[in-house]
């Protein structure tokens, strides 16, 4: 199985609950052969004018993974751009991928709709799901843990694989998405937590920042003061409690409904839990960050493991296409 992450900035609670915990669970099952990679070429499809941020984001993401418990002994952790075999295979699969299939992908259509974005919708961006198809098929992944937003990409990957196999013989493996069951984590404005909406709490944020961010969360607008009954089911603070305060959640729900629990206290409780939950993570991360050369070593070891697999697939693809 394989999953990739674009290095576009520090992880936040939405990533943590949606993906990181899923990756930890998958990694812990010895039946799984996990590939977790940093999709830095994919980052370029939208952030090509900000490449100066790239080295720091890659290093930061690897440290976040390691501090979270991703174990490079169990999972193969590597960086996409270290594996030029991906680029060659993307060129080859690009030859058989109809333009119309790529133009139909929702993320591409959405981008074109916005005039300001039109100029930044490059050839590389159009090819985003094709490159993703190569990430997956080059390691012959069967299972791809992703979010709901990636299902259209995976469907396209399956179509490209079928077309390749029809043209040249059964060489590539058709991947299946594995959707995370975790409910969406809302940000401070109640919308999906996201860095670009500036509504996120980062896993690396210090205590003061976490507390300030939690205080800025919207709550049930009908609950104005303590004593007013609240509706936890529409409150983003409660959505975070559900995820990060498992031992307290029943009491919080009940006392919010009766009005006994006020929003200020409810937020303080949440901030306490978040600070406590991420204290170990932040300590481990600081220790790992102090070990110079660690990230480079981890990525080099991962590359050693993935490269033979990628070379074998590419050789089969070349042979099937008579490029021998």
Pick from 137, 150, 188, 313: which binds ligand TRP (CB under 6 A)?
150
Phi, psi angle pair for 154, to nearest 5°: -65, -35
Pick from 1, 11, 26, 144: which binds ligand TRP (CB under 6 A)?
144
Span 22-51, contacts to ligand TRP by CB under 6 A: 39, 42
Query: Residue 26 and residue 78: Cα distance in Å, rounded?
Result: 17
First to last CA, the chain: 29
- Residue 42: CB minimum distance to ligand TRP, A: 5
Specify the residue, 137 or 188, whose C-beta has the smaller distance to ligand TRP.
Answer: 137
Contact 137, 157 (CB under 8 A): yes
How many other CB atoms sit within 10 Å of the CB of residue 171? Answer: 17
Specify the residue, 136 or 256, whose C-beta has the smaller distance to ligand TRP.
Answer: 136
Q: If we measure between CA atoms, which residue out of 196, 195, 198, 153 comes closest to residue 176?
A: 153
- Residue 225: CB minimum distance to ligand TRP, A: 41
Specify the residue, 19 or 245, whose C-beta has the smaller distance to ligand TRP.
Answer: 19
- Residue 41: CB minimum distance to ligand TRP, A: 9
List of long-range contacts for 91-94, beta carbons under 8 Å, 24+ apart = 92/317, 92/318, 92/321, 92/323, 93/130, 93/133, 93/134, 93/137, 93/160, 93/164, 94/127, 94/130
- For residue 17, state whether it binds ligand TRP (rule: CB under 6 A): no
- Binding window for ligand TRP (CB under 6 A); candidates: 3-11, 43-51, 188-196, 259-267: 3-11
Query: Residue 1 and residue 136: Cα distance in Å, rounded?
Result: 8
Specify the residue, 152 or 218, whose C-beta has the smaller distance to ligand TRP.
Answer: 152
- For residue 3, state whether it binds ligand TRP (rule: CB under 6 A): yes
- Binding window for ligand TRP (CB under 6 A); candidates: 86-94, 132-140, 160-168, 225-233: 132-140
Task: Show the tokens assigned to 25.
Answer: 């669970």
Specify the residue, 147 or 190, whose C-beta has the smaller distance to ligand TRP.
Answer: 147
- For residue 83, state whether it binds ligand TRP (rule: CB under 6 A): no
Pick from 22, 97, 132, 199: which binds ligand TRP (CB under 6 A)?
132
HSE value, Cβ hemisphere, 13 Å, CA-based, for 142: 2
Written as one string, the DSSP assignment of 39-108 is -HHHHHHHHGGGGGGHHHHHHHHHHHHHHHT--TTTSEEEEGGG-THHHHHHHHHHHHS-HHHHHT-HHH
- For residue 6, state whether it binds ligand TRP (rule: CB under 6 A): yes
- For residue 4, state whether it binds ligand TRP (rule: CB under 6 A): yes
- Residue 40: CB minimum distance to ligand TRP, A: 10
- Total residues found in the chain within this entry: 324
- Residue 188: CB minimum distance to ligand TRP, A: 22
Query: Residue 307 and residue 295: Cα distance in Å, rounded?
Result: 18
Pick from 34, 86, 136, 210: which binds ligand TRP (CB under 6 A)?
136
Specify the residue, 132 or 219, whose C-beta has the smaller distance to ligand TRP.
Answer: 132
- For residue 146, state whether it binds ligand TRP (rule: CB under 6 A): yes
Name beta bridge partners: 146.
179
Binding residue count for ligand TRP, defined by CB under 6 A:
12
HSE value, Cβ hemisphere, 13 Å, CA-based, for 110: 4
- Residue 129: CB minimum distance to ligand TRP, A: 8
- For residue 105, state whether it binds ligand TRP (rule: CB under 6 A): no
Question: Would you tell me which residues interact with ligand TRP (CB under 6 A)?
Answer: 2-4, 6, 39, 42, 132, 135-136, 144, 146, 150
């Amino acid at each position: 199985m394989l999953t990739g992450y674009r290095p576009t900035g520090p992880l936040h609670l939405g990533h943590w609950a949606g993906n990181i915990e899923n990756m930890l669970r998958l990694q812990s099952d010895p039946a799984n052969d996990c590939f977790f990679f940093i999709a830095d070429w994919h980052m370029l499809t939208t952030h090509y004018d900000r490449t100066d941020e790239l080295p720091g984001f890659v290093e930061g993401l690897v440290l976040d993974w390691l501090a979270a418990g991703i174990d490079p002994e169990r999972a193969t952790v590597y960086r996409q751009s270290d594996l030029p075999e991906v680029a060659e295979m993307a060129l080859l699969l690009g030859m058989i991928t109809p333009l119309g299939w790529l133009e139909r992908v929702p993320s591409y259509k959405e981008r074109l709709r916005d005039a300001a974005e039109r100029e930044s919708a490059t050839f590389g961006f159009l090819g985003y799901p094709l490159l993703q198809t190569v990430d997956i098929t080059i390691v012959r992944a069967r299972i791809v843990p992703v979010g709901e937003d990636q299902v259209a990409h995976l469907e396209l990957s399956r179509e490209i694989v079928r077309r390749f196999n029809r043209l040249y013989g059964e060489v590539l493996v058709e991947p299946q998405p594995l959707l995370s069951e975790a409910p969406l984590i809302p940000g401070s404005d109640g919308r999906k937590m996201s860095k670009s909406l500036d509504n996120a709490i980062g896993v690396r944020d210090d205590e003061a920042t976490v507390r300030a961010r939690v205080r800025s969360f919207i709550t049930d607008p009908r609950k104005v003061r303590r004593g007013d009954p609240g509706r936890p089911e529409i409150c983003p603070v409660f959505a975070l409690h559900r995820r990060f305060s498992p031992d307290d959640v029943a009491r919080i729900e009940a006392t919010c409904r009766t009005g006994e629990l006020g929003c200020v206290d409810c937020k303080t409780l949440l901030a306490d839990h978040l600070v406590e939950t991420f204290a170990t993570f932040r300590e481990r991360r600081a220790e790992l960050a102090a070990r110079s050369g660690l990230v480079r070593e981890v990525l080099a070891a991962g590359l050693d493991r993935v490269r033979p697999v990628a070379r074998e697939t590419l050789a089969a693809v070349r042979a099937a296409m008579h490029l021998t």
